[in-house]
Amino acid sequence: MEVLTFPAVQLLDVTGPVQVFASANDLVANAGGAPPYRLKLVTQGDQGVVSSAGVTLAAGPLSRRSEALDTLLVAGGRGVEVAAANPALVDWLQQRATQARRVASVCTGAFLLAAAGLLDGRRAVTHWKDCARLAQRFPAARVERDPIFVCDGPVWTSAGVTAGIDLALALVEEDLGRSMALAVARYMVVFLKRPGGQAQFSAALALQAADDKFGALHDWINRHLSDELSLTVLADRAGMSERSFSRHYAEATGQTPARAIERLRVEAARRLLSESRTPVKRIAQRCGFGSEETMRRSFLRLLAVTPQDYRSRFTF
């Protein structure tokens, strides 16, 4: 297994997945077996690589493109834009991927995969704040906003930073079975399969990109979630016609007003479920769902869990 790194790589994009595979090696070795993963960090040049955190990683030079390879993992981070604009590195990635059984990216590493044409026609995900940018720059990729990770054939992509751990656990499960993946997750004290998607953490944050234009409106919405928030009400509040508001809002946020309202209501309900003992019925009313059933459907659609399950998993 090779992990592609570059200057200003995100440290956890590298160390999180690597630790998953290293823990699997340890568990298999402790049971008397041969470690299943041989891990190698690679980078352009031969001086190692300095991460965005200032920690130097002992990465070796890029391997020969013709060598057989099981898994190629591409990290993300602040330096990914420079890396994706490097023709020699992109060419190496294109060629190296043809020798790998599977290719995966962590967080914004998806931009490198896309630059190499590896996401053309495939479903993919990246950090929630970069999904729209990935879709705009690489329209041949089918970018999804919500999943923690996506597998489309031999190509895997994951959401932001810690989602690389989720992806690595899924790869271990594919290779070694659920029992081993669960053992690694238990050892690392993480979910084997995290409930919900990255949408559960990013509803309000994802709208911050539109704060210059709709920041005041979002503040008002969050104070009036229990009110009727129809398109007419929102457009009037924004001082626009309904048609103009719908178009400008979608351009600024990447989603319809109705979907944004639903996400904000789910996020508010999520906070109340995890931070209070307020009954579910009362939370549904306070957050503007009107009924428990409506809130349950929204939770299932956006988080893939019911409100009751969310409370049981996230209340400490």
Which is the catalytic residue, given 107, 131, 151, 287?
107
Under DSSP, the state recorded for 125 is -
d(CA 49, CA 54): 10
Distance, in Å, from the CA atom of 108 to the CA atom of 131, rounded to the nearest integer, reads 9
Query: How far is residue 253 from each of residues 213, 240, 249, 269, measured CA to CA in Å?
Result: 10, 16, 6, 21
292 to each of 200, 278, 288, 296, 303, how far by Cα in Å?
A: 18, 13, 10, 6, 16
**Alpha carbon of 77 to those of 107, 119, 144, 296: distances in Å?**
8, 18, 19, 36
> DSSP 3-state assignment of 263?
helix
Q: Is 107 a catalytic residue?
A: yes
The CA–CA distances, whole Å, from 162 to 108, 138, 298 equal 12, 24, 25
Angle at CA of residue 45, ends 44 and 50, nearest 5°:
80
Kindly list the distances between the CA atom of residue 186 and the CA atoms of 19, 86, 183, in Å, as whole numbers in the listed order.
Answer: 13, 39, 5
Q: How many residues does the chain have?
A: 316
Q: Are 306 and 295 in contact (CB under 8 A)?
A: no
> Helix (H, G, I), strand (E, B), or coil: what is residue 70?
strand
The three-point CA angle 83-89-95 to 5° equals 135
Active site residue ranges: 107
